[in-house]
Every structure is written in structure tokens, then in C-alpha cells.
A and B are shown apart, each in its own frame.
Chain A
Amino acid sequence: DQQVKQNSPSLSVQEGRISILNCDYTNSMFDYFLWYKKYPAEGPTFLISISSIKDKNEDGRFTVFLNKSAKHLSLHIVPSQPGDSAVYFCAASDGNKLVFGAGTILRVKS
């Protein structure tokens, strides 16, 4: 039973446009959410996070939105750049461990 779901295996976006990656979770005990980016042959790297007491967190081109009632979060990348092409993992924490989604492959076309 996947507690964190990323239903889109892949997403293709034109350079300069917005990329929106979605994530749903089922466990109401999760109180901290993170996005990680992974390039081939490298470990995941932290991108941005949000606490459950907030509904939005912004860091440069990256914004994460949290809708607790819908148990849904999304990552917006504006504007998208070719270097953003990677696998993006959504993760949720209950204070003891992180649970990851399956990942979404983002391709930004120039």
C-alpha cells in the first residue's frame, strides 16, 4: 500500500514554461514534506520542503503547495530550464522516517 503516490511517471515541458509535479499521500500523520531531485548516476538531492503548518513555500524558481484537506502537494517550477530535467521524488515524514513516492521523470525541451 503506497502511502505516497506520484501518479504521473513522466512529464514533458517546453523550456520557459511552468512544470507542475503532483503528489498525493494517505497517512494523516505525515507532518513534513520534501521534494528531491535525482540525476542519473547520482544520489537524490534535496530541493525544497514544507511543514504541515504552511500551505506554500517558495525558493527561487521552485514553489511547493500543500493542500492538507486533499492530502495533496505539488511542486511548481517557473520558468523551467533544460537543466531541470531529472527524476523528482516527493517524500513525506511522520517524524520517524521518510516515505518516498515512485518519482516523476521531468523532461524540459529546449
Chain B
Amino acid sequence: EAQVTQNPRYLITVTGKKLTVTCSQNMNHEYMSWYRQDPGLGLRQIYYSMNVEVTDKGDVPEGYKVSRKEKRNFPLILESPSPNQTSLYFCASSLLPGLTDNEQFFGPGTRLTVL
């Protein structure tokens, strides 16, 4: 089954404690991306990756890091989480943007609370 998986689904942590949210896709997609969803703001892109070892900042990259060492995995790293990073996070993958009928497949989401 084609899917994007994220772990954990729920996480409560404290300010400053490093954490990683994993994301994996089994569709051999080149493009992967992280979004955060906040009320009234929709989905905002944090980072994206066009392929292995190729990453770039989205609209709200501050406080986040990513890596793309393998095509299927795209972890999101919060080195020193702060309360303003409390949000619902989605990982997504797709063929490279710009192709026709290019839909992004989303993971189920990770709800993060930083106290």
C-alpha cells in the first residue's frame, strides 16, 4: 500500500529537549516536504527536499532542521523546541513539482505540544 508514515503521532515535550519526528514514504518519490498546520494559517511549508542530499527552506524554517540521506526518509529535527512550535505537523511526498497531475501524499500528522 502506497503511504507516508510519521512517528510519533503524538508528542508532549518540554522546552529545549531535542526531538526528531520521522517520516518515511514507500512510493520512490523524489520530493518530500514538511508542513505545520496552525488555526487560521493553513498549511505552511517548513522545509522541502528535491532528492537525496538536496534540501531547501520553505516559508517557516526557523527552529527546524531536516536531512535527506535516503530517498525514502525525511526526518524533521527540533534541536531546542519552544512553545511556539506547538503545532500539527505533516510530512508529504510526491513526484517532482511541476509535473502534471502531481499530487502530494500526506502522512497522518504528528501533534506536538511543547511545554
Contact = CB atoms under 8 A, between A and B. Distances in A.
B100 interface: yes
Contacts of B4: 43
Interface residues of B, number: 27
B48 interface: yes
Contacts of A36: 106
Contact of A43 (B58, B100, B102, B108): B108
Interface residues of A, number: 27
Interface string A38-63: 00011111100101000000000000
A104 to B, nearest CB: 10
A23 to B, nearest CB: 11
A51 B102 CA distance: 10
B85 to A, nearest CB: 19
B109 A42 contact: yes
A95 B97 contact: yes
B41 A102 contact: yes
B115 interface: no
Nearest to B48: A97
Interface of B: 4, 33, 35, 40-45, 48, 56, 58-59, 90, 92, 97-98, 100-109
Interface of A: 4, 6, 9, 31-32, 34, 36, 41-46, 49, 51, 89, 91, 93, 95-103
